[in-house]
Amino acid sequence: MTTALILAVLIGAVSGSRTLLGPAAVSWAAYGGWLDLSGSWLFFLGHPVSPWVFTALAAGELVMDKLPGTPSRKLPFPFASRIGGGAIAGAAIGANAGAWIPGLIAGGLGAVAGTLLGYAARRRMAAAFGRDWPAALIEDAVALAVALLVVVAA
């Protein structure tokens, strides 16, 4: 169960960086049979339509994140959304190990950490590059890589 909780924190951190990337990753894993969510309240993540919907929403988020008018992830609604996405994704990882409640908590805490650490890292990278675009793309790539590693390890 310890491994599942570590993975739940990591997928939560992914959602802290990109709200819908964590749920999209676990949805693909559930649909592909890597995560067994059939007996839990998270069964909907494995529905054939779910990964496509979450992927479309995550792709839209990746685009919107680069727009100049996008609000800070630290504002109440974006922050809460990231925690929600991380909690759901963490619950899915936890459910696969028979511990969805600890997974939900670990995913939510991971999302808090991912939100704050991702914000700080992106600001530093943007300052180093002299603009935000390369920093945002690096953040996207790291979040996607971690999401893939987590669902493969789960």
pLDDT at res. 29: 97
- Which tokens sit at 141? 């790539």
Give 69: exposed, middle or buried? Use CB within 10 Å, 0-12, 13-18, 19+. Answer: exposed
pLDDT at res. 1: 76
**Closest residue by Cα to residue 14 from 131, 111, 152, 120:** 111
Secondary structure class of 97 (helix, strand, coil):
coil
Distance, CA of 35 to CA of 53 (rounded, Å) = 18
| Residue 153 banded pLDDT, cuts 50, 70, 90 | very high
pLDDT at residue 154 greater than cutoff 90? no
pLDDT at residue 39 greater than cutoff 90? no
Q: What DSSP designation does 130 have? A: T
- Which tokens sit at 114? 């991912």
pLDDT at residue 54 greater than cutoff 80? yes
**Closest residue by Cα to residue 89 from 6, 20, 40, 144:** 20
Q: What DSSP designation does 66 have? A: T
pLDDT tens digits along 99-132:
999 999 999 999 999 999 999 999 999 999 999 9
How much is the average pLDDT of 54-65? Answer: 96
How much is the average pLDDT of 137-146? Answer: 97
pLDDT at residue 68 greater than cutoff 90? no
Counting residues of the chain whose pLDDT is more than 70, the rounded percentage is 100
